[in-house]
């Protein structure tokens, strides 16, 4: 042990050796370290009379200083041995009365320059370093408890918050507030971590912007990825009228929005992970429009332009704004930007594959993507071939030449086959190929694909059952189609049965069971009402997602059913219900024209058909009805009738009624051979006509 010299001279620490003369117990070693440390510190500070101050180190202060030195050297275990002897509560009680009588620095010196540290600051820092040491040694629970004691002590010392305190103490507070939730997380005590994050952000710690921002980002990540659902913040900690998040995701979004606002105001540095977390959180909430808004507010130069455009296109596509999404991709894929971005090319192809008028553009994007992925990624090549097949199928429906249509249909099937060869376990490929076979009236191949799809998905996806039922109905196997529909109703959830019940109603009509069809429509109305109640939607015509059916479609189907039965009063009531939901609809105007024509009001019926055609330029039933009605008006109207019917067949080459009426036009015009070909096509199509268009599956 070191001792003071009699003449008050310089203190020399006694060396600690590892031979037999060393203290034999840990307690003795600890006392030796502390005693040595007290003398070293006294020697370093010099003579008390020379400084004009009364300097004396008590037991806790000496341990705090020596422990800090050991920690800075990396001797974590030795530092912990020293820190263990500090009684925090006793020290705080001793320091608290003198906090208001802080020793002022010498004239012309700041606190940091004078070399004097407040005793309370020394001890609090020591306990913080002790918790840090415990954390480094894997004792996370003990570390969290020690860190919590620091914050509890600060709160007891400063009842009204810690304003106007020295910088060293503020740094210790900041570090402790940051450390506490991290220690609880490492200890696996997630609820304590949650409470510590909220305490750190809601208590008056005078945290600087950077420290507060770090805590907010970590807390947001914890809320999103910890898989622990915490209770919402207590209402007592909220300002009246402020937003109170209901769950983890909402609270995380709120925190991330606050961080973004700080960045916009220049209070913190940009961190790309904030947008990554926000993207994930808003995706969970199905709010891509809000994500797009925040992306657009980020200043230029933060994100590469093409990366921002691609993300924005994803956001707009998710909310159904396909044209806006495609415009961003067109900019990104420009030859002066990033024309070889495979993901952007595939997304552009997917968007184009869903719209006929964009099919040709989609074909070009798909071929570029396939070429780029030829030698790098088999999966992406398969996806590109899949989308290429979809685009070619859409494009085949826009050409007027039968030869060109046949070539495109063959290319479509070839693309699907090549894609399946690369990815045999993709059921969506099998489904799309089945739909293409069905539209080309290859029912045996379509039936095989439908069964394969049902096997691949375990019968859990209703569109596979619908394809099977429609193919069976096209083969005039109505009872079997109804069995398939009933099986699908048993396999799917109640709220996902809309399209299946609609199909069942049409199968009943095909089997001359109109009253049973009406019952199916009634069940469908009840289902739609249940869907609205479950979603809390106030919209009366809320189009459901996936395979659901809108209320408008149900009333329209009932109106068509009653019209076919010549029950005009009920048909008119249903039509009024449909009009109330959608004022301007081609289907409604067409149904009205059908009823007028059935009552021999041909002039009014023609006006209704023309109105339907004006609302939707490619509405095939209206074009067919106009052509059929004009055909009855005499030879002078035959060219116009032929024009409407030919245009209908351009859009839908498998429409048997268009072929039938076109045959009548040719017959009345004296073209017997052309009429015979049209009648033959109509008969062949009637033998393979489903109760519902295969296009409804797309």
The per-residue DSSP string of 87-107 comes to -HHHHHHHHGGGGGGPPPPPT
Orientation angle between helical segments 322-332 and 305-318, nearest 10 degrees: 160
Cβ atoms < 10 Å from Cβ of 361: 18
CB proximity list for 496: less than 8 A, separation 6 or greater:
462, 546, 547, 548
For residue 532, pLDDT over 80 is answered with no
Instruction: Please report which confidence band the pLDDT of residue 623 belongs to, taking 50, 70 and 90 as the band edges.
Output: very high
Q: What is the pLDDT of residue 544?
A: 40
Q: What is the pLDDT of residue 640?
A: 93
For residue 559, pLDDT over 70 is answered with yes
For residue 241, pLDDT over 70 is answered with no
Q: What is the pLDDT of residue 386?
A: 95
Instruction: Choose among 443, 395, 391: nearest CA to 419.
Output: 391
Q: Which of 420-429, 478-487, 488-497, 575-584 is predicted with the least confidence, judged by mean pLDDT? A: 488-497
pLDDT in tens, 82-116: 777 676 666 666 655 444 444 444 444 444 444 44
pLDDT in tens, 296-334: 888 887 888 899 999 999 999 999 899 999 999 999 999
Report the residue count for the chain: 698
For residue 160, pLDDT over 70 is answered with no
Given a contact cutoff of 8 angstroms between Cβ atoms, the answer to whether 101 and 130 are in contact is no
CATH for 626-697, options being 1.25.40.10, 3.30.200.20, 3.10.150.10, 3.40.47.10 = 1.25.40.10
CB proximity list for 536: less than 8 A, separation 6 or greater:
none
Q: What is the pLDDT of residue 264?
A: 84
Q: For 214-233, what is the mean pLDDT?
A: 84
Instruction: Please report which confidence band the pLDDT of residue 693 belongs to, taking 50, 70 and 90 as the band edges.
Output: confident
Instruction: Choose among 337, 335, 336, 359: nearest CA to 348.
Output: 359
3-state secondary structure 636-693: HHHHHHHHHHHHHHHHCCCCHHHHHHHHHHHHHCCCHHHHHHHHHHHHHHHCCCCCCC
Exposed (0-12), middle (13-18) or buried (19+): which is 176, by Cβ within 10 Å? buried
% of the chain residues with pLDDT over 70: 81
Tokens of 35: 């005693």
For residue 389, pLDDT over 50 is answered with yes
Q: What is the pLDDT of residue 53?
A: 36
- Measured in degrees and rounded to the nearest 5, phi and psi for residue 535 equal -90, -10
Q: What is the pLDDT of residue 334?
A: 92
- Residue spans of alpha helices (H) in 74-160: 76-83, 88-95, 111-114, 119-136, 140-157
CB proximity list for 212: less than 8 A, separation 6 or greater:
201
Q: What is the pLDDT of residue 611?
A: 93
Given a contact cutoff of 8 angstroms between Cβ atoms, the answer to whether 601 and 617 are in contact is no
Q: What is the pLDDT of residue 6?
A: 38
Q: Residue 254 and residue 543: Cα distance in Å, rounded?
A: 30
For residue 472, pLDDT over 90 is answered with yes
- Measured in degrees and rounded to the nearest 5, phi and psi for residue 245 equal -65, 145
Q: What is the pLDDT of residue 58?
A: 66
Q: For 194-203, what is the mean pLDDT?
A: 87
Q: For 152-174, what is the mean pLDDT?
A: 74
Instruction: Please report which confidence band the pLDDT of residue 564 belongs to, taking 50, 70 and 90 as the band edges.
Output: confident
| Degrees to nearest 5, angle at CA 393 with 389 and 398 | 145
Exposed (0-12), middle (13-18) or buried (19+): which is 403, by Cβ within 10 Å? exposed
Q: What is the DSSP letter of 611?
A: H
Q: For 224-228, what is the mean pLDDT?
A: 84
Half-sphere exposure of 98 (CA within 13 A, CB side): 12
Exposed (0-12), middle (13-18) or buried (19+): which is 61, by Cβ within 10 Å? buried
For residue 32, pLDDT over 90 is answered with no
Instruction: Choose among 673, 666, 632: nearest CA to 646.
Output: 666
For residue 282, pLDDT over 80 is answered with yes
% of the chain residues with pLDDT over 90: 36
Given a contact cutoff of 8 angstroms between Cβ atoms, the answer to whether 137 and 80 are in contact is yes
Q: For 342-361, what is the mean pLDDT?
A: 94
């Amino acid at each position: 042990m070191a001792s003071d010299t009699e003449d008050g001279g310089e203190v020399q620490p006694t060396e600690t050796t590892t031979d037999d003369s060393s203290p034999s117990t840990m307690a003795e070693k600890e006392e030796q370290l502390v005693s040595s440390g007290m003398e070293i510190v006294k020697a370093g500070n010099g003579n008390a009379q020379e400084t004009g101050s009364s300097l004396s180190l008590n037991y806790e202060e000496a341990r705090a200083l020596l422990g800090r030195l050991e920690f800075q050297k990396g001797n974590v275990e030795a530092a912990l041995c020293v820190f263990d002897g500090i009684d925090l509560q006793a020290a705080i009680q001793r320091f608290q009365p003198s906090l208001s009588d802080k020793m002022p620095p010498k004239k012309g010196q700041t606190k940091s320059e004078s070399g004097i540290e407040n005793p309370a600051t020394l001890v609090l820092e020591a306990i913080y370093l002790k918790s840090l040491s415990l954390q480094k040694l894997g004792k996370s629970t003990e570390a969290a408890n020690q860190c919590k004691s620091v914050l509890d002590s600060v709160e007891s010392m400063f009842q009204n918050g810690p304003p106007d305190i020295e910088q060293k103490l503020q740094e210790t507070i900041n570090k402790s507030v940051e450390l506490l939730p991290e220690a609880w997380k490492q200890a696996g005590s997630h609820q304590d971590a949650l409470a510590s994050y909220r305490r750190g952000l809601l208590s008056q710690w005078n945290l600087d912007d950077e420290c507060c921002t770090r805590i907010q980002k970590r807390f947001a990540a914890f809320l999103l990825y910890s898989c622990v659902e915490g209770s919402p913040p207590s209402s007592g900690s909220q300002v009246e009228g402020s937003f109170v998040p209901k769950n983890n995701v909402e609270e995380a979004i709120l925190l991330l929005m606050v961080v973004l606002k700080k960045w916009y105001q220049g209070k913190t540095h940009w961190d790309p992970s904030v947008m990554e977390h926000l993207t994930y959180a808003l995706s969970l909430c199905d709010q891509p429009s809000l994500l797009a808004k925040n992306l657009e507010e980020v200043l230029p130069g933060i994100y590469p332009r093409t990366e921002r455009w691609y993300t924005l296109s994803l956001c707009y596509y998710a909310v159904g704004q396909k044209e806006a999404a495609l415009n961003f991709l067109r900019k990104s894929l420009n030859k002066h930007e990033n024309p070889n971005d495979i993901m952007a090319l595939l997304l552009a192809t997917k968007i184009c594959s869903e719209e006929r008028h964009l099919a040709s553009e989609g074909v070009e994007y798909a071929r570029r993507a396939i070429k780029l992925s030829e030698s790098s990624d088999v999966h992406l090549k398969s996806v590109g071939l899949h989308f290429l097949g979809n685009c070619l199928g859409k494009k085949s429906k826009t050409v007027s030449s039968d030869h060109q249509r046949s070539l495109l249909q063959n290319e479509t099937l070839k693309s699907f086959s090549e894609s399946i060869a690369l990815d045999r376990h993709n059921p969506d490929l099998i489904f799309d190929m089945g739909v293409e076979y069905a539209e080309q009236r290859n029912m045996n191949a379509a039936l095989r694909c439908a069964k394969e799809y049902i096997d691949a998905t375990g019968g859990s996806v209703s569109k596979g059952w619908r394809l099977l039922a429609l193919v069976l109905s096209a083969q005039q196997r109505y009872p079997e189609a109804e069995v398939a529909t009933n099986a699908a109703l048993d396999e799917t959830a109640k709220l996902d049965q809309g399209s299946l019940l609609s199909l069942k109603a049409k199968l009943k009509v095909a089997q001359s069971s109109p009253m049973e069809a009406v019952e199916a429509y009634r069940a469908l109305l009840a289902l739609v009402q249940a869907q609205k109640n479950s979603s809390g939607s106030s919209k009366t015509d809320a189009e459901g997602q996936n395979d659901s059916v809108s209320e408008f479609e149900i009333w329209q189907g009932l109106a068509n059913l009653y019209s076919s039965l010549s029950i005009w009063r009920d048909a008119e009531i249903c039509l009024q219900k449909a009009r109330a939901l959608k004022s301007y609809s081609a289907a409604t105007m067409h149904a009205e024209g059908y009823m007028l024509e059935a009552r021999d009001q041909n002039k009014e019926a023609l006006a209704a058909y023309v109105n339907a055609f004006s609302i939707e330029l490619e509405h095939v039933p209206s074009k067919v009805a106009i052509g059929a009605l004009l055909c009855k008006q005499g030879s002078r109207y035959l060219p116009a009738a032929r024009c409407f019917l030919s245009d209908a067949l351009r859009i839908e080459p498998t429409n048997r009624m268009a072929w039938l009426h076109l045959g009548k036009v040719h017959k009345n015009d004296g073209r017997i051979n052309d009429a015979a070909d049209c009648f033959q096509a109509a008969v062949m199509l009637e033998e393979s006509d489903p109760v519902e268009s295969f296009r409804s599956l797309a």
